[in-house]
Amino acid sequence: MPFPDTRMRRTRASRFARDLARETRLSPADLILPAFVLEDEKGREAVESMPGVERVGRNGLFELAERCLAAGIPAMALFPVVPAERKSTDAAEAWREDGLVPETVKALKARFPELGVITDVALDPYTSHGLDGIVDADGYVLNDRTVDALVRQAMSHAEAGADVVAPSDMMDGRIGAIREQLEADGHVNTLILSYAAKYASSYYGPFRDAVGSAGNLGKSGKESFQMDPGNSDEALREVELDLEEGADWVMIKPALPYLDIIRRVHETFGVPTFAYHVSGEYAMLKAAAERGWLDNDKVLLETLTSIRRAGASGILTYAALEAASLLKG
């Protein structure tokens, strides 16, 4: 019996053919670098559970911004490291006009106006209990009181010049409330990137170490507001509601364990869909690479490509600068 005329391996036989036939491409322009920001302008602290990642003050942040622009990375996402003495049960530090995030945004936009600046809208870095909102006597996060606080926080970021406010709290109705206030205050071009499907994941541990919320959170969980890892249809409902309320972009978090969710959201709604390659995903790769169990460079690019292939328009990853260097190399 003659061999079939179609030989799939013909296209794989040479580098040029593989390059021409590639369906999914990854570039620095697809990446966003998260940064942990300290109050001390000259501060620099290693995050032990995230090899290669540091908490940085303004000087270090400017260095990262310069490197992002040189590498072709279009945006950074800011996450504050709030001193313990300014954390409280009502998270009032979150919307202080001269607080860490607004002042950092002003400085970044003044020096790097072409860099996209994304701010995290959530209360957990500011609460003494480590949860993402204002709680009642039983420790339950109060939705509507928290939304009021989130609106004030988002407005302080928009007034400072943030290009994108990114509510990551998973409170019901917060997108609509933030959009309404942005419009009322004249911030009609401020984008909302909604963490529309954020799962109650165990992959966030190193992040909580980095922002200093792990100790405050203790044994408390976030299952009453973040999504159950077993649910998929629910993610579509969450995304649809946020889009109806005025979200411009949506985020799926984490990325690798939820590639199916990225795909479903991308195909169902056709809106810019972002994914967060979270701290635990990053830390696992680094730990395996340090032991020689995985090839860091190849696995990193394969991982990020898989997230793009699933349908992500952009990826937040702590390895953004590293990946950009590999892609240009």
Q: What is the pLDDT of residues 195-215, one digit of tens each?
A: 999 999 999 988 888 887 655
pLDDT for residue 218 is more than 80: no
Return the pLDDT at 207: 87
Return the pLDDT at 88: 93
pLDDT for residue 314 is more than 80: yes
Q: Which is nearest to 209 in space by CA: 125, 132, 135?
A: 125
Asked if residue 174 belongs to a domain, the reply is: yes
Q: Per-residue pLDDT averaged across 130-141, rounded?
A: 92
In the chain, what percentage of residues exceed pLDDT 70? 97
Q: What is the mean pLDDT of the chain?
A: 95
Q: Which is nearest to 191 in space by CA: 57, 319, 20, 314?
A: 314
Tens-digit pLDDT profile for residues 177-196: 999 999 999 999 999 999 99
Tens-digit pLDDT profile for residues 271-286: 999 999 999 999 999 9
β strands within 12-58, DSSP E:
31-37, 44-46, 54-56
Q: Per-residue pLDDT averaged across 146-155, rounded?
A: 97
Return the pLDDT at 1: 61
198 is catalytic: yes
Domain that holds residue 43: 25-328
SS3 state at 118: strand
Q: Is 45 annotated as a binding residue?
A: no
Asked if residue 5 belongs to a domain, the reply is: no
Q: Per-residue pLDDT averaged across 105-131, rounded?
A: 96
Q: Please tell me what DSSP assigns to residue 120.
A: E
pLDDT for residue 95 is more than 70: yes
At residue 213, φ and ψ (nearest 5 deg) are -100, -10
Return the pLDDT at 210: 86
List 87, 222, 253, 286, catalytic entry: 253
Asked if residue 246 belongs to a domain, the reply is: yes
Asked if residue 6 belongs to a domain, the reply is: no
Asked if residue 16 belongs to a domain, the reply is: no
Gap between the Cα atoms of 10 and 19, Å rounded: 13
Asked if residue 319 belongs to a domain, the reply is: yes
Total of domains in the chain: 1
Return the pLDDT at 149: 96
CATH of the domain at 33: 3.20.20.70
Return the pLDDT at 3: 72
Q: Per-residue pLDDT averaged across 236-264, rounded?
A: 98
Q: Give the CA angle between residues 249, 313, 14 to the nearest 5°.
A: 175
298 is catalytic: no
Asked if residue 15 belongs to a domain, the reply is: no
List 87, 106, 109, 198, catalytic entry: 198
Asked if residue 271 belongs to a domain, the reply is: yes
Return the pLDDT at 211: 84
